[in-house]
């Protein structure tokens, strides 16, 4: 799969590229011209301080927010995403930082939210049995441990909820680009390992390209081929993980943080 | 399979409690007065229950979103007048009825669009609609009582025949249940009411779901207006639509629908309507003083709602208080049959 993908894209166009993305909420300029690209089969880490604009960028790439300016390219072709559905049809899946789960709904309804299996054609009757069986099988396959797919997600622990959100984004076979906004934030070591394994196997076996946002640099170095640093709405550093180190990245973040404080006080 | 059982048991919980209260009330009134269990009272009871049931079903659509439609009762008052006006304008009764229902749906659409796109809370939007519709009815009728437009078959089908209203109500309850629990649209109503952001992030068209719910609510309000017009046989422009609206909301809430959104039950609303109908009819029959009747009815509704809220609190592990203890007892007795690992979290 990976080799095919590489062979096909002989020109080596990045699967996804954004150029000069800007976004403001009212008077607040959150993104000030983000340039970022994602190669086929690559895992890209994105780090940056709280409020740097990482989640906003993810929401734009997944069609949930519309950028004020800039252009997005998929496989080299310019696209304008109008909705989350639109992004999904391009094979883009997302684990949002807030997980996007509905507490009152069962695990399996959450897994299939807005992609329900239905019968009755246009009437769209829920095929609950199929969804329940599928959910159970898939969660079992990826070793996510929950009491039952029928419990409302409000009854699950933080880590379990996170696992459900990741499972939802990875369930589809034709996912091409996976955006993970702090997928490991609430996870214990064992569960985190599980998700890391899942993510790595998706990247290796199915050639899925990924963007991973994480404040834990150890995770970044474990998972990612490349890392980008976002600062005040711009990408300020772009390095292969093998060309840098935990110490260097930490030093970079700390020094730029210092610089920022000096600028602010000046 | 096991899980399905678990879930359905929980949901039926609130519905079951209110159903038991209904049965207890019916037995009480039946024992107290033989008139209550007479056949002729069945038609009276039906006429109490039917409109509340339909409006209750209508409100579940919007309440589950965390919204409310205060104007459904005014749509109820307006709709039979519209058929008359359209007939006067030269339209047949059948065509007039269809156009009327479309107008009622359009009123709901306006409620929904204002709420969704202008960001006005639905409580305020629909309160505005209440006054606007009251004005329209009074102005257009000059405050004079008139007769409904149709006669014969159409009148009989649409509420004229003794049991037609209750049959419509039951059919609408079943339809409401199917839409709400068995279709994608129904699932999305609960999703939007439970977590609007998450629904949006999942690609659900939140605004469209909301507008459709307001449309359905208003449409049902208009329909029940037609039924009651033909049943009563005259149209009174002074009818206070708010009373029926509040009965509908009460039926929905005592049946287990959360005013805060994210949880609704059509079966609960239907049973809630029956309970309210039984209370009203029963109090009438045993001849309680009209003032006392209001007081007792109010307390009964309050009690049922408190129990409902407490049941939910206890179930989610936050419950306390006197009612909480009772609710806990109810839950425990129902839980007795379940397997250990299913009892877990509450
Ligand atoms: N819908 C919104 N309306 C107004 N402001 C917003 C909105 N979404 C984000 N912001 C603002 O944009 C800025 C960037 O937010 P964003 O969530 O993208 O940061 P982040 O880099 O993901 O931070 P964190 O690491 O804390 O998740 C913040 O200052 C935030 O307050
Ligand atoms: Mg974020």
Task: List the domain boundaries for chain A.
Answer: 24-100+173-265
| CA gap B30, B32 in Å, rounded | 6
| CA gap B154, B137 in Å, rounded | 23
Interface residue ranges in chain A relative to chain B, Cβ cutoff 8 Å: 64, 83-85, 88, 94, 96, 98-106, 109, 113-114, 116, 118, 123-126, 132, 147-151, 154-155
Its CATH architecture, for the domain A24-100+173-265, is 3-Layer(aba) Sandwich (3.40)
Residue B344 lies in a domain: no
**Would you say the CB of residue A50 lies under 6 angstroms from ligand 1?**
yes
Dihedrals φ, ψ of B133, to 5°? -70, -40
Look at phi and psi of residue B90 and say left if phi exceeds 0, alpha if psi is from -120 to 50, else beta.
Answer: left
Angle subtended at Cα B239 by Cα B234 and Cα B97, rounded to the nearest 5 degrees: 55
| CA gap B205, B66 in Å, rounded | 16
For the segment A55-65, the average pLDDT, to the nearest whole number, is 97
| CA gap B65, B62 in Å, rounded | 5
Task: Report which of residues B39 and B300 the model is more confident about.
Answer: B39
**CB contacts, 8 Å: B198 with chain A:** 96, 98-102, 113
B185, A124: Cβ pair inside 8 Å? yes
| CA gap A233, A24 in Å, rounded | 10
Average per-residue pLDDT for chain B: 87
A181 Cα: distance to centroid of ligand 1 (angstroms): 12
Angle subtended at Cα A258 by Cα A252 and Cα A262, rounded to the nearest 5 degrees: 140
B198 in A contact zone (CB under 8 Å): yes
Question: A207-240 pLDDT, tens per residue?
Answer: 899 999 999 999 899 899 999 999 999 999 999 9
A102, B200: Cβ pair inside 8 Å? no
Angle subtended at Cα B116 by Cα B113 and Cα B120, rounded to the nearest 5 degrees: 100
Q: How many structural domains does chain B have? A: 1
Residue B2 lies in a domain: no
Please, which pLDDT band fits residue A257 given cuts at 50, 70 and 90?
confident
Helix (H) or strand (E) holding B2: helix B2-32
In this complex, which of B183, B197, B203 lies closest to A124 when CB atoms are compared? B183
Ligand 1 probe mutation, A25, A47, A95, A214, most atoms within 8 A of CB = A25
In this complex, which of B6, B182, B193 lies closest to A125 when CB atoms are compared? B182
| CA gap A233, A52 in Å, rounded | 6
Residue B76 lies in a domain: yes
Dihedrals φ, ψ of B345, to 5°? -75, -20
Please, which pLDDT band fits residue B274 given cuts at 50, 70 and 90?
very high
The first and second tokens of residue A239, run together, are: 């390095």
Average per-residue pLDDT for chain A: 90
**What is the pLDDT, as a whole number, of residue A56?**
97
Burial of B103 (C-beta count, 10 Å sphere; 0-12/13-18/19+): middle
* Least confident piece of the model among B36-50, B119-133, B264-278, B293-307: B293-307
**What is the pLDDT, as a whole number, of residue B328?**
59
Cα B170 to Cα B51, B167, B174, B177, B296, distances in angstroms: 11, 5, 6, 10, 27
For the CA of A51, the nearest ligand: 1
A101 Cα: distance to centroid of ligand 2 (angstroms): 16
**What is the pLDDT, as a whole number, of residue B318?**
58
Residues 6+ apart with CB under 8 A from B37: B30
Question: B131-183 pLDDT, tens per residue?
Answer: 999 999 999 999 999 999 988 889 999 998 989 999 999 999 999 999 999 99
**CB contacts, 8 Å: A125 with chain B:** 182-184
B341, A147: Cβ pair inside 8 Å? yes
| pLDDT for B64 beyond 60 | yes
Count the helices and strands in chain B (H runs, E runs).
15, 0
Instruction: Single out the residue of A140, A146, A108 nearest to residue A127, CA to CA.
Output: A108
User: How many pairs of residues across A and B have Cβ atoms under 8 Å apart?
Assistant: 91
By three-state DSSP, how is residue B183 classified? strand
Residue B342 lies in a domain: no
Q: How far is A263 from chain B (nearest CA, A)?
A: 36
**What is the pLDDT, as a whole number, of residue A97?**
95
Which of A58, A90, A104, A137 has the highest number of chain B CBs within 10 A, making it the mutation to test binding with B? Answer: A104
Instruction: Single out the residue of A70, A69, A196, A81 nearest to residue A143, CA to CA.
Output: A196
Return the residue whose CA atom lies nearest to atom 2 of ligand 1.
A25
The torsion angle over the Cα atoms of residues A156, A152, A100 and B68, rounded to 10 degrees, is -140
For the segment B39-68, the average pLDDT, to the nearest whole number, is 95
Question: A94-148 pLDDT, tens per residue?
Answer: 999 999 999 999 999 999 999 999 998 888 999 999 999 999 999 999 888 899 9
Pairing state of beta strands A77-79 and A69-74?
antiparallel
Task: Report which of residues B186 and A2 the model is more confident about.
Answer: B186
User: Which CATH number is B131's domain given?
Assistant: 1.10.3470
By three-state DSSP, how is residue A39 classified? coil
Which of B10, B180, B193, B195 has the highest number of chain A CBs within 10 A, making it the mutation to test binding with A? Answer: B195
Q: Strands across the sheet with A69-74, in order?
A: A28-38, A16-25, A69-74, A77-79
B198, A124: Cβ pair inside 8 Å? no
Return the residue whose CA atom lies nearest to atom 1 of ligand 1.
A25
B175 in A contact zone (CB under 8 Å): no
Dihedrals φ, ψ of A31, to 5°? -115, 130
B187 in A contact zone (CB under 8 Å): yes
A247 Cα: distance to centroid of ligand 2 (angstroms): 23
| pLDDT for B334 beyond 60 | no
> Where in the sequence is the domain holding B81, given as residue range(s)?
9-322
| CA gap B326, B116 in Å, rounded | 40
């Amino acid at each position: 799969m990976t080799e095919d993908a590489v062979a096909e894209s002989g020109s080596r166009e990045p699967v996804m590229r954004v150029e000069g993305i800007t976004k403001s909420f009212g008077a607040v300029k959150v993104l000030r011209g983000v340039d970022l690209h994602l190669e086929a089969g690559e895992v890209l880490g994105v780090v940056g301080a709280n409020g740097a604009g990482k989640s906003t960028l993810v929401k734009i790439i997944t069609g949930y927010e519309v950028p004020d300016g800039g252009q997005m390219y998929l496989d080299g072709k310019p696209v304008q995403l109008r909705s989350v559905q639109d992004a999904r049809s391009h094979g883009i899946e997302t684990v949002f930082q807030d997980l996007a789960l509905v507490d009152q709904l069962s695990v399996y309804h959450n897994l299939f939210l807005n992609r329900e299996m239905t019968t009755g054609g246009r009437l769209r009757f829920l095929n609950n049995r199929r969804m329940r069986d599928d959910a159970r099988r898939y969660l079992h396959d990826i070793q996510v441990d929950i009491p039952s797919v029928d419990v409302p997600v409000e009854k699950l622990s933080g880590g379990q909820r996170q696992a459900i959100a990741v499972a939802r984004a990875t369930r589809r076979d034709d996912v091409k680009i996976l955006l993970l906004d702090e997928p490991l934030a609430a996870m214990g070591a064992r569960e985190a390992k599980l998700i890391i394994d899942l993510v790595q196997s998706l990247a290796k076996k199915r050639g899925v390209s990924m963007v991973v946002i994480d404040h834990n640099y150890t995770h970044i170095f474990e998972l990612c081929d490349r890392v980008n640093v976002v600062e005040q709405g711009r990408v300020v550093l772009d390095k292969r993980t093998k060309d840098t180190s935990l110490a260097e990245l930490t030093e970079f973040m700390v020094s730029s943080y210092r610089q920022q404080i000096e600028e602010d006080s000046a | 399979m096991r899980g399905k059982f678990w879930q359905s048991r929980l949901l039926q919980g609130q519905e079951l409690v209110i159903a038991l209260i209904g049965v207890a009330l019916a037995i009480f009134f039946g024992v107290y007065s033989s008139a209550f269990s007479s056949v002729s009272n069945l038609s009276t009871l039906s006429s109490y229950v039917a409109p509340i049931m339909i409006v209750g079903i209508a409100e579940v659509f919007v309440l589950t979103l965390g919204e409310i439609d205060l104007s459904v009762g005014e749509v109820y008052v307006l709709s039979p007048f519209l058929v008359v006006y359209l007939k006067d304008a030269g339209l047949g009764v059948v065509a007039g009825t269809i156009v009327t229902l479309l107008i009622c749906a359009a009123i709901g659409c306006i409620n929904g669009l204002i709420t969704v796109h202008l960001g006005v809370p639905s409580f305020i939007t629909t309160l505005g609609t209440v006054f606007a519709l009251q004005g329209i009815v009074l102005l257009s009728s000059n405050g004079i009582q008139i007769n409904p437009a149709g006669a014969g078959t159409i009148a009989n089908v649409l509420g004229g025949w003794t049991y037609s209203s209750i049959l419509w109500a039951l059919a609408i309850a079943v339809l409401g249940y199917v839409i709400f629990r068995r279709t994608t649209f129904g699932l999305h109503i609960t999703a939007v009411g439970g977590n609007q952001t998450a629904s949006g992030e999942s690609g659900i068209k939140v605004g469209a779901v909301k507008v459709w719910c307001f449309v359905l609510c208003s449409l049902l309000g208009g329909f029940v207006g037609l039924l009651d017009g033909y049943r009563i046989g005259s149209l009174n422009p002074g009818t206070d639509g708010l009373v029926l609206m509040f009965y509908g909301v009460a039926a929905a809430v005592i049946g287990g629908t959360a005013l805060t959104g994210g949880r609704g039950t059509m079966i609960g609303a239907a049973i809630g309507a029956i309970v309210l109908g039984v209370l009203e009819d029963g109090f009438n029959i045993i001849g309680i003083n009209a003032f006392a009747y209001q007081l007792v009815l109010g307390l009964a509704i309050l009690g049922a709602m408190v129990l409902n809220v407490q049941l939910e609190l206890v179930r989610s592990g936050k419950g306390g208080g006197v009612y909480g203890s009772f609710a806990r007892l109810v839950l425990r007795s129902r839980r007795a049959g379940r397997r250990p690992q299913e009892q877990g979290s509450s």
